[in-house]
């Protein structure tokens, strides 16, 4: 988010921008730990609009930003196994199509054709969008950052924010471990740490961190590991050859091809909020129980490595892209609830337009911080 905002600000002629990064490298937090998924299939119109704009930029990222995004559009396949889910998706597919998204209803047999090796015995419906896909989070972040830097923005790594000065109701300075920066404008793009940064300026940002795991499975060794012409997996391993993202909606189990292996994960609905990013190996058996039922080939695979990252969850699953009320010059771009990487192109553009006073070109009230003080705020239901 920070790199995207900086990039879009420089494109609007604002080049006195400083990105402050606590770590020694960019994209080592939640950005560098996510699965790279990019999709149009959301239940909220505002998020669909973010997807349309963001995917459009990712498709032309190299031409426009000047760096590759490694974007593979092999599609997202949602698997539905209850009547309630099918009814929910019928409404949301209609919404997606009303915005011009080509989302298809497919049956269980079609799902297996799209994702060979899938067990779809209990699938009663599925949706597929071929323009969804997988992109490289590090490549996108560094593309934005390098382009912003080339235009005059500065990037200060290994620099932690320790305080924000507010004077007469307006931002006055940012204090860091390497000195003080006088400024009238601050963007809080701190991901799961957004609440702490907001508190420095006296603003409550309702964002909490939740751990999510990703596991990488390798094919079982066999005596006949022949390679196919366009495939780097063992010929005998019955998993999809493309990078299609498959999501079992009821369990939140998901997987996609990752090199010669398979990336997979699933949320733990009972885990409380924390900043803990250690891998819970005792959670893996719960994931495997679901995984082998949906993709039987995983029963013979081995998990080569795993990592955990943090979702920055807002109360309604929608992001906050908004000026902070009561503190002039403070802007928020937080709480993307697992959708941050994929929505960073549009979100960064929107916030840059807010900062320079341009018309953002869409209704941003679903992203306003003040929405949490009102009854009836509707958020995102497709949080995976």
The third-level CATH classification (topology) of the domain covering 2-37+137-207+316-373 is FAD/NAD(P)-binding domain (3.50.50)
Let me know the angle formed at the C-alpha of 243 by 216 and 134, rounded to the nearest 5 degrees. 90
**Residues 306 and 214: beta-carbon distance below 8 Å:** yes
Distance CA 190, CA 195 (A): 8
pLDDT of residue 381: 66
Reference 186, options 197, 177, 231; nearest CA is 197
Kindly tell me the sign of the dihedral angle through the C-alpha atoms of 257, 258, 262, 266: negative
Q: Which CATH superfamily is domain 208-240+259-311 in?
A: D-Amino Acid Oxidase, subunit A, domain 2 (3.30.9.10)
The residues facing 265 across adjacent strands are 254
**DSSP state for residue 78 in the 8-state scheme:** E
pLDDT of residue 225: 44
DSSP state string for 124-179: -EEEEETT-EE--HHHHHHHHHHHHHHTT-EEE-S--EEEEEEETTEEEEEEETTE
pLDDT of residue 222: 63
pLDDT of residue 226: 45
**Residues 218 and 47: beta-carbon distance below 8 Å:** no
Reference 332, options 324, 342, 343, 340; nearest CA is 324
Reference 79, options 121, 27, 30; nearest CA is 121
Distance CA 259, CA 157 (A): 30
- 10 Å Cβ neighbour count for 75? 22
Reference 243, options 77, 1, 110; nearest CA is 77
Contacts for 314 with CB less than 8 Å, ≥ 6 apart? 206, 207, 320, 334, 335, 336, 337, 379
Tell me whether strands 302-313 and 208-218 are parallel, antiparallel or unpaired: antiparallel
| Sequence ranges of the domains in the chain | 2-37+137-207+316-373, 76-129, 208-240+259-311
Distance CA 35, CA 145 (A): 20
pLDDT of residue 266: 93
SS3 content of the chain, % helix, strand, coil (to 5): 30, 25, 45
Q: What is the dihedral of CA 195, 3, 72, 87, to 10 degrees?
A: 30
What is the full per-residue pLDDT of the chain (384 aa) written as tens digits?
A: 999 999 999 999 999 999 999 999 888 887 888 889 999 999 999 999 999 999 999 999 999 999 999 999 999 999 999 999 999 999 999 999 999 999 999 999 999 999 999 999 999 999 999 999 999 999 999 999 999 999 999 999 999 999 999 999 999 999 999 999 999 999 999 999 999 999 999 999 999 999 999 999 998 876 344 444 445 444 568 999 999 999 999 999 999 999 889 999 998 989 999 999 999 999 999 999 999 999 999 998 999 999 999 999 999 999 999 999 999 999 999 999 999 999 999 999 999 999 999 999 999 999 999 999 876 556 776 677
Q: How far is CA 140 from CA 62, 131, 160, in A?
A: 10, 18, 23
**Residues 152 and 15: beta-carbon distance below 8 Å:** yes
Q: Which residue has the tokens 């599609």?
A: 75
Contacts for 129 with CB less than 8 Å, ≥ 6 apart? 39, 40, 41, 75, 76, 96, 101, 102, 103, 104
Q: Which residue has the tokens 């209803």?
A: 105
Q: How far is CA 73 from CA 55, 134, 298, 342, in A?
A: 10, 7, 24, 13
pLDDT of residue 57: 97
- Label residue 36 left, alpha or beta by phi (over 0 means left) and psi (-120 to 50 means alpha): left
Q: Same fold for the domain at 2-37+137-207+316-373 and the one at 208-240+259-311?
A: no
């Amino acid at each position: 988010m920070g790199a995207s905002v900086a990039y879009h600000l420089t494109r609007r002629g604002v080049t006195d921008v400083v990105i402050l990064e606590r770590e020694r490298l960019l994209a080592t937090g939640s950005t560098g730990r996510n699965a790279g998924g990019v999709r149009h299939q959301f239940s909220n119109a505002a998020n669909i609009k973010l997807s349309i704009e963001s995917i459009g930029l990712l498709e032309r990222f190299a031409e426009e930003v000047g760096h590759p995004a490694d974007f593979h559009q092999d599609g997202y396949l949602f698997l539905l196994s209850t009547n309630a889910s099918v009814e929910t998706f019928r409404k949301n597919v209609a919404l997606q199509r009303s915005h011009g998204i080509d989302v298809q209803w497919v049956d269980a047999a079609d799902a297996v054709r799209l994702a060979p090796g899938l067990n779809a015995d209990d699938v009663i419906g599925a949706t597929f969008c071929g323009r969804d896909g997988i992109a490289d989070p590090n490549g996108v972040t560094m593309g934005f950052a390098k382009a912003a830097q080339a235009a005059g923005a500065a990037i200060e790594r290994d620099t932690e924010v320790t305080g924000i000065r507010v004077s007469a109701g307006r931002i006055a300075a940012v204090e860091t471990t390497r000195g003080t920066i006088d400024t009238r404008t601050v963007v809080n793009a701190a991901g799961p740490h957004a609440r702490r940064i907001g508190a420095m300026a006296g603003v409550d940002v309702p964002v909490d961190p939740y751990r999510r795991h990703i596991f990488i499975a390798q094919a079982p060794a066999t005596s006949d590991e022949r390679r196919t012409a366009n495939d780097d997996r063992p010929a005998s391993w019955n998993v999809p050859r493309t990078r299609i993202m498959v999501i079992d909606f009821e369990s939140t189990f998901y997987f996609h091809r990752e090199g010669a292996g398979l990336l997979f994960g699933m949320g733990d609905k009972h885990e409380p909020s924390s900043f803990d990013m250690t891998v819970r190996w005792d959670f893996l058996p719960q994931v495997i129980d679901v995984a082998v039922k949906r993709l039987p080939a995983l029963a013979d695979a081995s998990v080569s490595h795993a990592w955990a990252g943090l979702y920055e969850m807002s109360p309604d699953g929608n992001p906050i892209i908004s000026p902070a009320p009561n503190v002039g010059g403070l802007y928020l771009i937080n709480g993307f609830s697992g959708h941050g990487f994929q929505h960073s192109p549009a979100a960064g553009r929107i916030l840059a337009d807010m900062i320079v006073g341009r018309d953002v070109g869409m209704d941003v009230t679903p992203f306003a911080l003040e929405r949490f003080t009102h009854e009836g705020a509707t958020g995102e239901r497709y949080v995976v």
